[in-house]
């Protein structure tokens, strides 16, 4: 039994401030839930000259002030990035401290190793905030859905890109204009690469898929593609065909293999996921017992993210104050095999500019036919008479990715094909 639980907070940025504020403002409520007060003993920052609302004597720029302190029971890591956060988490766990982190990059890249290390040292490493911000995802996968065989996850897990795509869809604007607006409003970072290139979503998908399929998912297993190639006209065609465009993170299990991929995706406009707009996130999970379930909410922000972090802290502290052992860990094996993107089968939307003259469509359909790719519909209406070119949009039936990529490469060699503007995967 402990009379107080002491916390070392690493990082006092957007999320750290949310956590520190809540620990002060809700201290009485948390103490009641835990049975002992939660006390922030030290706060690690990089720049000691910044003005902060917390008590100045708590601040340090030396991580050892937290890692060496035997009184600190729980380290909350909200520094972000791989280095030095990975080293700090590793050292904290090795020295018998429980760790709560929001760090998707560290968990996606090193989670399997760090969770094993935590188990070895009989401590917990919890990471609810690493995917989906304030939406409970890790805990349901770790606990409530354990009896299910989960066959698929379809998720919108990056708010920045969902904001941009929503703007493009509703306002008929191109990617660059939508990104600029997102940056002006503070939804997108000055360097938006991790979000718009799909990397942030890839980290989160690796974390969720590992828990859903009880297997190690390497970051290298996750195929990712960003949204910068999408144009306003893709959204117009999508609408005409009954779809909307989302950056979807998809994980599917088939027998002993799994596929994990993040890319712009056409989804039917009547799906619940299609109606998830702005910075909101949503995660759809298919379980054999539950059927389809959907989690929806704010995937980022100081308050939603601190909710996830503090739930982990409170649960850990409850265990500690009651003298129980750390929470059980999901057993993960390494026997499932990741399917490369070239082996997946899906439908495709293909938009290209071609010379507007007899026989061109026949040349294109011949390439697709020879690779056994069946066409489901064709649209040709945008004709540029001066350039004597036309825009063609083709929707295919399910086809192998490898065949589709080969078709694109063959079509690019045709003299009549001026440009393959976009190839987008379709999930029905
Ligand atoms: P942030 O605003 O950039 O804050 C980072 C904090 O860490 C700052 O206090 C910074 O110190 C400190 N720091 C950075 N490098 C350091 C170093 N080498 N040594 C010591 N301290 C260092 O980041 P954030 O947005 O709060 O994100 C933190 C974590 O939460 C990340 O893993 C992120 O992915 C995750 N997350 C964030 C959100 C969100 O909405 N922001 C949502 C979900 C998950 P200074 O204050 O001195 O600069
Ligand atoms: N950059 C992320 C997003 C938030 O746009 O959803 C932090 O995970």
Domain co-membership, 171 together with 283: yes
* CA-closest residue to ligand 1 atom 35: 102
Residue 265 host element (H or E): strand 257-268
- Quick check: is 150 in a domain? yes
Domain co-membership, 293 together with 310: no
User: Can you give the CATH number for the domain in which 85 is found?
Assistant: 3.40.50.720
- Quick check: is 331 in a domain? no
User: Can you give the CATH number for the domain in which 394 is found?
Assistant: 3.30.70.260
**pLDDT tens-place string over residues 256-272:** 999 999 999 999 999 99
Q: What is the pLDDT of residue 324?
A: 74
The DSSP 8-state label assigned to residue 118 in this structure reads: H
Ligand 1 atom at minimal distance to the Cα of residue 48: 47
Domain co-membership, 185 together with 107: no
What is the rounded CA–CA span in Å between residue 168 and residue 184? 16
β pairing state of 5-10 and 74-77: parallel
**pLDDT tens-place string over residues 18-62:** 999 999 999 999 999 999 999 999 999 999 999 999 999 999 999
- Final residue before a domain boundary, out of 321, 352, 375: 321
Domain count, the chain: 3
Is 204 assigned a catalytic role?
A: yes
- Quick check: is 138 in a domain? no
- Quick check: is 125 in a domain? yes
C-alpha of residue 300 to centroid of ligand 2, in Å = 6
> Which residues have any ligand 2 atom within 6 Å of their CB?
158-160, 195, 200, 299-300
- Final residue before a domain boundary, out of 321, 356, 380: 321
C-alpha of residue 337 to centroid of ligand 2, in Å = 28
Domain co-membership, 276 together with 165: yes
Domain co-membership, 352 together with 393: yes
* CA-closest residue to ligand 1 atom 22: 46
Q: What is the pLDDT of residue 387?
A: 85
**Which domain, by its residues, includes 311?**
5-133+302-321
**pLDDT tens-place string over residues 231-289:** 999 999 999 999 999 999 999 999 999 999 999 999 999 999 999 999 999 999 999 99
- Quick check: is 361 in a domain? yes
- Quick check: is 334 in a domain? no
Q: What is the pLDDT of residue 84?
A: 98
User: Can you give the CATH number for the domain in which 195 is found?
Assistant: 3.30.360.10
Domain co-membership, 16 together with 113: yes
Place of tokens 């409170």: 314
Helix axes 159-171, 175-184, angle to 10 degrees: 120
- Quick check: is 308 in a domain? yes
* CA-closest residue to ligand 2 atom 4: 300
The pLDDT > 90 percentage for the chain reads 93
Domain co-membership, 28 together with 128: yes
- Final residue before a domain boundary, out of 290, 321, 352: 321
Domain co-membership, 13 together with 37: yes
- Quick check: is 326 in a domain? no
> Which residues have any ligand 1 atom within 6 Å of their CB?
11-16, 44-47, 50, 78-80, 84, 102-104, 129, 133, 300-301, 305
Q: Is the entire prediction scored with pTM above 0.75?
A: yes
Q: What is the pLDDT of residue 333?
A: 80
Q: What is the pLDDT of residue 323?
A: 77
Domain co-membership, 257 together with 288: yes
Domain co-membership, 169 together with 248: yes
**Which of the residues in the chain have pLDDT under 50?**
none
Domain co-membership, 280 together with 171: yes
Q: Catalytic: which of 109, 204, 252, 339?
A: 204
What is the rounded CA–CA span in Å between residue 202 and residue 329? 23
- Which ligand has its closest atom nearest to the C-alpha of 82? 1
Helix axes 199-213, 104-120, angle to 10 degrees: 30
C-alpha of residue 168 to centroid of ligand 1, in Å = 30
Domain co-membership, 149 together with 294: yes
């Amino acid at each position: 039994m402990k009379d107080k639980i002491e916390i070392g907070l690493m990082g006092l940025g957007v999320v750290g401030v949310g956590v520190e504020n809540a620990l002060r403002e809700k201290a009485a409520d948390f103490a009641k839930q835990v049975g002992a007060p939660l006390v922030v003993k030290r706060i690690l920052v990089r720049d000691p000259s910044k003005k902060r609302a917390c008590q100045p004597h708590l601040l340090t720029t030396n991580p050892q002030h937290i890692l060496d302190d035997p009184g600190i029971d729980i380290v909350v890591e909200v520094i972000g990035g791989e280095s030095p956060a990975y080293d700090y988490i590793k050292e904290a766990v090795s020295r018998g401290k429980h760790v709560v982190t929001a760090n998707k990059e560290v968990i996606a890249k090193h989670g399997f190793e760090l969770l094993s290390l935590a188990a070895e040292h009989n401590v917990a490493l919890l990471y609810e905030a690493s995917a989906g911000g304030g939406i409970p995802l890790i805990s349901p996968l770790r606990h409530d859905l354990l009896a299910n065989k989960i066959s698929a996850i379809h998720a919108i897990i990056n708010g920045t890109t969902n904001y941009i795509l929503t703007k493009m869809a509703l306002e008929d604007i191109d990617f660059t204009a939508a990104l600029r607006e997102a940056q002006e409003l503070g939804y997108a970072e000055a360097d938006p690469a991790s979000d718009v290139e799909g990397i942030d979503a890839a980290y989160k998908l690796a974390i969720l898929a590992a828990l859903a399929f009880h297997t190690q998912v390497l970051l290298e297993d996750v195929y990712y593609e960003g949204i910068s190639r999408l144009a306003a006209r893709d959204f117009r065609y999508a609408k005409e065909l009954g779809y909307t465009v989302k950056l979807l993170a998809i994980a599917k299990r088939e027998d002993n293999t799994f596929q994990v991929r993040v890319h712009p995706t056409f989804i039917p406009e009547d799906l619940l996921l299609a109606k998830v707009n702005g910075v909101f996130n949503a995660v759809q999970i298919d379980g054999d017992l539950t059927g389809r379930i959907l989690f929806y909410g704010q995937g980022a922000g100081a308050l939603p993210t601190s909710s996830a972090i503090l739930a982990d802290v409170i649960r850990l502290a409850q265990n500690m104050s009651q003298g129980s052992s750390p929470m059980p860990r999901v057993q993960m094996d390494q026997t499932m095999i990741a399917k490369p993107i070239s082996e997946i089968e899906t439908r495709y939307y293909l938009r290209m500019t071609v010379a507007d003259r007899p026989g061109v469509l026949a040349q294109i359909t011949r390439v697709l036919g020879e690779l056994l790719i069946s066409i489901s519909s064709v649209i040709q209406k945008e004709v540029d008479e001066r350039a004597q070119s036309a825009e063609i949009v083709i929707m295919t039936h399910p086809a192998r990715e490898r065949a589709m990529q080969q078709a694109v490469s063959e079509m690019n060699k045709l003299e009549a094909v001026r440009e393959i503007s976009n190839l987008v995967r379709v999930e029905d």
